[in-house]
Amino acid sequence: MNEPRRVEHQQTDKGYVPVYTTAVVEQPWDDYKAEDHATWGTLYQRQRELLVGRASEEFLAAQDAMGMTPHAIPRFEQLNEVLGAATGWTLIGVEGLLPELDFFDHLANRRFPVTWWIRRPDQIDYIAEPDLFHDLFGHVPLLMNPLFADYMQAYGRGGVKAHGVGPEALVNLTRLYWCTVEFGLINTPDGLRIYGSGIVSSKGESLYSLESDAPNRIGFDLERVMRTRYRIDTYQKTYFVIDSFAQLIDATGPDFTPLYAKLAEQDAIAAGTVLGSDRVYTRGTGEGWASDGDV
């Protein structure tokens, strides 16, 4: 294992430039400062209180089962005992953002990369890249759910394959990850609930995604999602709603190669567009939307 570094995006006159690292490191738990544990505790307690009645029950129950608390940053080795027994996944420490193929390979082998360092106190409400809180609080709990755990492995295997198909296929597949794993909603008997990690780890987007009149909320359809552009710098214009985690498994079962060929012949769909064929839960007002910047 390498000595862990804190690898962050670089701020330039053209905005943040991603910096990638492939290193796998031991979590330096004894080196965390009181400030780090306090930041974890503040974020954890705030989000847990906010997510009751907003996050999916599967997420909340999984987080409880893992034994996470606000008292200190969890130890990866302790979480791995619980996670490994539940679904066979393992957390690995990383220094920052991974290159795509490395990330896919880890997922395909049921290894989930977790950034070892946590944001600074002045970044408590927003950070431009994944840190320990986003990864551990947002992503890891649902790996306790067998269906979602299998979906993540299937996604990793699909990513390795898409990497060999070409850049357009990777764009399509990245949209699927963004609209499900990061910013997905799920329909439940009690109404729409959050499961995407980018939402559950964000105070503002936890409220916005469910309660704002601005965004669209549209039923999940694989081809539709893989054609749809999205936002990386603001709240989402459109959230896609699954009926169950089994739906994700069913959607990713077939070989995507013919779908990539079909998608290559179609135009991308702007982030805020509502199609006549969409299953619409909410048609957003569009208030506050940026007019450009979809990716």
- Please give the Cα distance from 192 to 213 (Å, whole number): 14
Mean pLDDT for the chain? 93
Whether 100 sits among the annotated catalytic residues: the reply is no
pLDDT at 3: 79
Catalytic status, residue 182: yes
Q: Collapse the DSSP code of 274 into the 3-class scheme (helix H, G, I; strand E, B; otherwise coil) and give the result.
A: coil
Q: Which of 182, 202, 205, 206 is catalytic?
A: 182
CATH code of 10-282, in short, is 1.10.800.10
Query: Does the active-site annotation cover 139?
Result: yes
Phi-psi region of 229 (alpha: psi -120 to 50; beta: other; left: phi over 0): beta
Q: Could you say which of 58, 139, 197, 206 is catalytic?
A: 139
Report the predicted TM-score, pTM, of the whole model to 2 decimal places: 0.93
Helix %, strand %, coil % of the chain (to 5): 45, 15, 40
**In this predicted model, what pLDDT tens digit does every residue of 228-268 receive, in sequence order?**
999 888 899 999 999 999 999 999 889 999 999 999 999 99
**Residues of the chain below pLDDT 50:** none
Residue among 58, 106, 197, 201 flagged as catalytic: 201
Look-up: residue for tokens 């986003």?
Answer: 134
Domain segments of the chain: what residues? 10-282
Please confirm, yes or no, whether 291 is among the known catalytic residues. Answer: no
What digits encode the pLDDT tens for the residues 151-164?
A: 999 999 999 999 99
